[in-house]
Structure formats: structure tokens, C-alpha cells
Amino acid sequence: MSDPMVVFDRVSKSYGALEVLKGINLEVAPGEVLSLIGPSGSGKSTLLRCVNHLERIDSGAITVDGELIGYRQVGNLAYELPEKLIARQRARIAMVFQNFNLFGHMTVLENVIEAPTQVLGVPRRHAEEHAAAILERVGLGDKLTSYPRMLSGGQQQRVAIARALAMKPKLILFDEPTSALDPELVGEVLDVMRALAEEGMTMMVVTHEMAFARDVCHRVAFMDGGKIVECGPPGEVLANPSHERTRTFLSKVN
């Protein structure tokens, strides 16, 4: 058995008096696709954002590929890393947001090469060749010189996925990647994510797309009230949940 790619060890997070994550324990294996489902406010997106230290955890620890994220452990104390070292960790933990977050003044190609050239120091010519290949892979090989405003929402999200892949990540985090899309555009984004899963990319996906969770994901974790209520294969959690709270939620979304 290989070591886990991601480990959450008693992870807690609060905003003032509101405890949004309550002692989360969870592991994600290399090559696994894990979906996080649950009602709004259950902690799904916060959990995802803690993985690359966009949100600071209050207690516990998160490791990715054996490396403690965001902190340096000295005895029983944890010290937050300098921003430069955190940025280095984030470079291999890609994130795709629901609202694309593309640079509107840059072409598609420029959006995709920005991080490899500026963060990793990849020579521009090499970055452009790699970016062109990735954009071809996500069905946008003819859009290199287009600007985001010229693209549909589904195309913009595929650019965002290409931008994530350009960093050659070990892990991709998807935070409701289809929720801002018109229904007819959802499929083209899910098709790209399905292809990544088939290629063995490790992925954590916050989603309301139950068909994707059922057909593509290896495991589904249902969250409510800052806790993982149950986690297991889609056939168990989605088709035969063991907790009443999960059954209630699924009865409303299916």
C-alpha cells in the first residue's frame, strides 16, 4: 500500500464562535478521486481551502505527500511558514474555483503560462509549448489567442483547469467547479475532470453533481455541521447511506 497523498489529522477551524470544522480525520490515496458533498455551510469548501493553506487551521495537521502544509513543527509547537514557503507548497496543489478567476486582460495562453513562468521559472517558450498541448487536451487548442470575455463559461472553466495542469500538480482541488455554469455547459467541464480521473490524477472535488460523484469518484464523503458524517464508496453512501442525515440530504438533491 502506498502512503496517503493527503492526510487530515484532527483538523479544526473556527470563525470566531462558529466552529466550521470539528476534528476532521480523513485520508486521500494517490490517484483517488474523493468528492465532498453536503448542504451549504457544512464545511466542504473550508476543508478544501485548508489543504493549500488558503484558510489557516486552528488545530490538527494537514499533510500532502508527506509534507506538513502551512506550518513547521518544533516539538509540540507549530509555527506558520513564511509566505514564500507556503507559495512553494501551493505550487504543486492546484485549485480550480467556481468562478474561474482568470485574468481578463490576458489571452488564454497567457493565463495558462503565467504561473509556470513566474512561480516555477519555466522558460517562456517551453511554457507556451506545454500550455498549447494542455489546451489541446481540454478541447481549446483553437482558443490560444482568445480573451476570457470571448469564451463561454464552460470554456473559461476548462482554461482554469488547463492553468492548474500547467503547474504539473500532485493534487487538484475543485471547489464546486460547475456551480456557476449554465446547465448545458456542465457536461463539457465534467468530461475533462472524468478524463483526469482516468489518467490517475489525485482529486478532491466539492460538488453537487451527484452523477459525477457516483460514476467517477472512488469515495464520497458527506459533511454536515463541520463533521464527516459518513465516507465510503459511492455505491454505499449514495445508494444505501447509513445515516439518516445523509438520507435526508440525498432525498432533496436527487
Tens of pLDDT, residue by residue over 212-227, are: 999 999 999 999 999 9
Q: What CA–CA distance (Å, rounded) separates 30 from 154? A: 28
Domain ranges of the chain: 99-168
How large is the average pLDDT for residues 157-166? 96
Tens of pLDDT, residue by residue over 28-65, are: 999 999 999 999 999 999 999 999 999 999 999 999 99
How large is the average pLDDT for residues 102-122? 95
What is this structure's pTM? 0.94
The stretches of the chain forming alpha helices (DSSP H) are 44-51, 83-90, 108-118, 124-137, 153-165, 183-198, 210-215, 234-237, 244-253
Share of the chain above pLDDT 90, in %: 91
pLDDT reported for residue 9: 97
How large is the average pLDDT for residues 65-88? 92
Q: What CA–CA distance (Å, rounded) separates 137 from 132? A: 9
pLDDT tier at 233, thresholds 50, 70, 90: very high
How large is the average pLDDT for residues 93-102? 93
Residue 1 predicted with pLDDT over 70: no
